[in-house]
Every structure is written in C-alpha cells, then in structure tokens.
Amino acid sequence: MKILKFIGSWQFWVSAVLAIVLFFGLLQGTFFWLGAYTNHGVQVEVPNLNNLTLDQAVIKLDENGLEYEIDTSKYDPKYKSYQILDIYPLIGSNVKKGRRIFIRANAKTWKPVTVPNIIGKYKYLAFSQLDLVGLKVTDTIYEPSLATNTVLKLLHKGKDIQPGVTLPRFSSLTIVLAKGLAKNVSVPSFIGLDEETAKEMISGNLFSIGSVIYDDPDDKENARIYYQVPAPSNVYDQGQPIDLYLSSKPLEQLKDKIRDLDATFNKIHYEEDSLNNANAGISTFREPASIAPPPARNTPANNTGTLSKREIQKRTTSTKEDPKRPGRIIIE
C-alpha cells in the first residue's frame, strides 16, 4: 500500500521526468561529442596518386590530411623503382580526415640475400640452396681435390666470397667443385728444399706427406732434402705419400747412402740420376765450391796414365744407345 501511495504522489512523477530528461540530455551530448571528435559527416576524397613519385604522393596525402602506410618490400623489374602499384581505399573513395591510406610501391631493387653455407656440400644440394635464395650459378670450375663433386669455394666477379655475405638477388656466381685426385701425375723435385717448404709443395700438389727422415735429428736447421721417394719425374697418384730424406752433410758424404736408397726404393733408376738430382738441388742452397764435382767419364781413374780395370771394361764392351732414354748408354 505504501508503494502504491508513493507512485501516485507528485514527488515520484517529478523525479521520473527529471531522470528521463537527464538521460536523453546525456545521450544527445554524447552523440554530439562523438560527431565532433570523429568529424562525422566531414569527408575527403582519396586523391589520384597514379603517375606520381612516392615523394609526390606523400606530399599530396599530407595536403588532404590523410595518414599513410607504405610497403616497398617487393621488387618487380617490370615497373620503375618506387612506382605506386596499389592503393587502399581505392582512388575516389570518400574517407574521413586522418584516415590511414595503405600504399604498395615497387622497391628500388632486389632485396639483398645472404649467401648460404654450401662449402663442402654435394653440388646438387648446393645448386638447389643457391637457387632457393635467388642466386644464379653461371659458371662451374673443377679443381683437383679428394671429395669429388663437392663445393670447394664460391666466386663473385672473380673474387672469393664467404658464406654469410649479402649480395643482390639474382647475382651471378662461379662455383668451384672438386674433381677428385688425378692419377699418374709427374712427381716434382723437392731436392735441396728444407722440410717446411717441401711440405707446402707436397700439399699444394695434392700429395700426402710421408716419412721425414733426418741423418742428424739435432741439426735440422741447416738440413736439406737430398733424396725423395718416389724420385723426381716418376709418375704417382695424387693423395699418395712422399718420403723425404734430409741432411746437412756435403754431397760427397751422402753418395753411399744415396746408392743404398736407390737399391732399396729405386732399382730401375740410374745411380747417376739420383746423384745429379741431389747435386743440382743442394747446390742452390750451398756454395758450389763446397760440392766436389764428379770425375769426368773420359778421365782415367789413376794418375799413372794407364787405364783402370773399369775403363778397360767400358772400352772393350759393346755399347748402344737406349732408345727410351736418349743420351744413356746400355752396356751389353
């Protein structure tokens, strides 16, 4: 009964009318504020940005009170650098001031790519990885190496490049591949060299380093190579070991040892060949006077004017020239 009595009182109806007026007043005020804040009904037209440079398009958007966001992440060679390709909202659309316009423009050039690490990888895998990042292989070079068809190095404009460097997309590369080790290669002469120099030459010629034997291990500083196995000019497969014999003694004191080594390792090799190799090689590192020259073949072995037994045997034995080794005489 009290509630019904209160509803029927004038105080209730006055309060209700005031509440309704206040509610609608706040609602209208909110809409008015939103319209002013959002520029409701105030629109601008998206300008035509075609045939404009990117800088000109930005200036025009600023003049119209429009924000912008530019994407230049992709490059298409069919279009000019920074040419505008797409706009959203579309040209001619009515938008509010301050609206953000999305622009897609052509990049200046190809985005740089990182050279992948393909050193030591098989060639087909290397080619696919280079193609995946957008690099082109325009030439292939083969060099002797143990791992056949693996990548040894990469060249760009004739210079070595390392994995991890950045290059323009679609740059041309030259790839150097291993072709395996060669067979029947002529062995170079290491006679007269010191140990370190000889080792560098052996590795550079793709042979392996075998035994290194010193006559006097306490005198390595002045030691030079006087004998090698296999002998110079012999044919040998790359990757096989080469043994080195070093000494600091004069050649005269090494002749017997060279003969013994020839008898062990090089029986078909002429004794004089090893001596001449040692003489020619070691003389480049020592004064010529320190090496006694071998006696001439037409000089008698004694000073009495008579021929030695060996000379008599040479003169009375029939001889002929070896057709396989010109200048060499076969004694029969």
Q: Which residue has the higher pLDDT, 263 or 35?
A: 263
Q: Are 262 and 255 within 8 A, CB to CB?
A: no
Would you give the end-to-end CA distance of the chain in angstroms?
156
User: Whole-model pTM above 0.75?
Assistant: no
Q: Which residue has the higher pLDDT, 4 or 171?
A: 171
Cα atoms in the 13 Å half-sphere on the side-chain side of 176? 14
Q: Which residue has the higher pLDDT, 326 or 32?
A: 32
Cβ partners under 8 Å of residue 250, min gap 6? 286, 290, 291, 292
Task: Give the pLDDT score at 332.
Answer: 40
Q: Which residue has the higher pLDDT, 280 or 323?
A: 280
Domains annotated for the chain, with CATH where assigned, are 43-105 (3.30.10.20), 113-178 (3.30.10.20), 185-294 (3.30.10.20), 300-332 (no CATH)
Longest Cα separation, the chain: 169
Average pLDDT score over residue span 254-265: 86
Beta-strand relationship, 113-114 and 136-143: unpaired
Q: Could you read off the pLDDT of 10-63 as tens digits, one per residue?
A: 777 788 888 888 888 888 888 777 766 665 556 888 888 888 888 888 998 988
Q: Which residue has the higher pLDDT, 197 or 325?
A: 197
CA distance 159 to 153: 10
- Classify residue 75 by its DSSP letter: -
Ranges of beta strands (E only) in the chain are: 43-45, 67-71, 84-88, 94-96, 100-105, 113-114, 136-143, 151-156, 159-161, 166-167, 172-178, 185-186, 208-214, 224-229, 235-236, 241-247, 319-321, 329-331
